[in-house]
Amino acid sequence: MSGTASDPNDDVVLAGEYILDLLSPDEAAAFEARLATEPGLRRLCAIWAEEFSGFADEVDPVSPPDDVLERVEMRLFGSSEREGRPGLWQRFGLTGLAAAVLAVLLFVSSDFLDQGPVPPEAPAYTAEIAAEDRSLVIEAAYDADAAELYLERLSGAAAPGRSLELWLIAGDNAPVSLGVLPEDDRAVFTVTQELQNALSGGVLAISDEPEGGSPTGAPTGEVLATGAITDA
């Protein structure tokens, strides 16, 4: 079992153990207390849930011998008594050997740490940044607790040798760059404290810029898409 996590890799394992119901009651209570104040842990749990969701559809129901789960738990935990909230098996309707195999697959999966950003569970603001012909569409969601703006590109891409840059426009103020969009469809931008109050009622825009972003600190190319920021 994991103790108090001190780095992101430890937290990945700890979140997995929590979702798999492998923590003791005291460890689970301590983890849940962290969940209330640490958005990063909530995102890790969301990643685990997404990782789990497809497995249940691929596992055919089986009826193993009655003592299989007990023997697996004895081997893994030294006890067959699993107290506390329902575990992964109950949540996804998996039993016996299928549940044990699923647990092993999840813990040895090297793809888990490669998961991209996930949207906030309860965003304060959202926006759809879209071109008029919808050749470029990006959904945005702002996590106020983490001061992070999550972006997911649904369509469109930068032209060869060019970059897409994200701007915040608040009232009559000049556009302020929030960063250059990566090639990945999902991205997260940290919003500085000075700009957080400007989000409400503001507009997000995407411009076409030289590779690496605007050299002047202001949009230099065509504004390709815009979207008003609204309360979620």
Q: Using DSSP, state whether 141 is helix, strand or coil.
A: strand
Q: Is 100 exposed, middle or buried (0-12, 13-18, 19+ CB in 10 A)?
A: buried
What is the reported pLDDT for 8?
A: 57
Is the pLDDT at 48 greater than 90? The verdict is no
pLDDT band at 42, cuts 50/70/90? confident
pLDDT for 162-216, tens place per residue? Answer: 999 999 999 999 999 999 999 989 999 999 998 999 999 999 999 999 999 999 9
* Residues 140, 150 contacting (CB under 8 angstroms): yes
- Contact between 226 and 204 under an 8 Å Cβ cutoff? The reply is yes
Question: Cβ of 57: how many Cβ atoms within 10 Å?
Answer: 7
Q: What CATH number should be reported for the domain whose range is 125-231?
A: 2.60.40
Is the model's pTM score more than 0.75?
no
Residue type, 41: L
pLDDT in tens, 90-103: 444 444 444 554 45
Domain parsing of the chain, residue ranges: 8-114, 125-231
Contact 158, 165 (CB under 8 A): no
pLDDT band for position 57 (50/70/90)?
low
CA gyration radius, the chain: 22
pLDDT-derived band at 21 (thresholds 50, 70, 90) equals confident
Strands 203-210 and 162-169: antiparallel
pLDDT tens sequence across 72-122:
666 655 555 444 444 544 444 444 444 554 455 455 444 554 556 888 889
Residue with tokens 């789990």: 52
